[in-house]
A and B are shown apart, each in its own frame.
Chain A
């Protein structure tokens, strides 16, 4: 069974997400956003994504850091699917070799 905190957290997530999906349509649609606000709104998702994976950069595990470096190079050049495969493969190989 699913405990009630799990359900409450999932419902809270769903509400937040739906709010963002209809928010722009309902609130921002009629108005013109200033270019400054657009730039800040544009930067926000990237700030969050990189903050979530920040611990990987300071994990201190050499195998993971090498794999992370390879993943960054792959992400810069390749589509999503290949990036994911290469990142997984390099992590598996590096951990096997270095530990």
Chain B
């Protein structure tokens, strides 16, 4: 089997979680007054689920560009660490190939392609990283994410009041599951708790969505203070 096909096939378990999430994202977007066509535009150009859920949660009409772009940057800041970790495996590729391929890097494709490379090459051999496998996996994830978010935007109105079906709870649930994946014990989670407390307090006192940067920056500051002590 070719590596590309192997990548396509490896996407199946990821798609089980991704397809309903994309449908919910699209459906929620329309309840915020986003044009259905704008949904595949967002998911196709941005292609980073966490930041898209956050953007839609914070969406107003007209949208607050600086706030949403800033939150997108903060949420996706983990990509900096991920792409740095990937760099040694991409040494054998020219930049003109590596840079477009990195557009497709998401948590799942990053983790799975690295695991595949580590299984194939005992040592840190750049050639063990299969770009075809990564692209096969990414193609399936990208096509499904864009297509099903668009479908969600189209059938969203048919689903009716999203609150009644509990669909709006899917979004916090996705985030809680992502947090679970990042969990490294209560000590390491201290910055998260500070972020939660500051964000919750801010949202009760200050109107608008400023609770996100307020909480996030308080949490990051806590992490900084903790490593300095």
Contacts and interface: CB of A to CB of B under 8 A. Distances in A.
B142 to A, nearest CB: 13
A97 interface: no
A46 B62 contact: no
Interface of A: 1-3, 5-25, 27-29, 33, 36, 38-58, 64, 67-68, 71-72, 74-76, 79-81, 83-84, 86-93, 95
B200 interface: yes
A57 B189 CA distance: 17
A74 B179 CA distance: 12
A10 B46 contact: yes
Contacts of B81: 24, 28, 38, 41-42
B155 interface: no
Contacts, number: 293
Given A11-B45, A47-B220, A84-B21, A54 B166 contact: no
Contacts of B169: 64, 67-68, 71, 87-88, 90-91
28 contacts: A1-B37, A6-B34, A7-B41, A9-B68, A12-B72, A13-B69, A24-B80, A25-B102, A28-B81, A28-B87, A36-B228, A38-B81, A45-B77, A46-B179, A46-B191, A48-B212, A50-B175, A51-B216, A57-B196, A58-B204, A67-B169, A71-B169, A75-B176, A75-B179, A84-B20, A84-B173, A91-B168, A95-B163
Contact of B173 (A1, A9, A87, A95): A87
User: Which interface class (under 10, 10 to 19, 20 to 34, 35 or more) fits B?
Assistant: 35 or more
B103 A43 contact: no
Contacts of A41: 77-78, 80-81
Given A10-B41, A75-B179, 13 more contacts: A13-B42, A16-B73, A20-B79, A24-B84, A47-B191, A49-B178, A50-B179, A51-B195, A51-B211, A51-B214, A80-B174, A95-B163, A95-B166
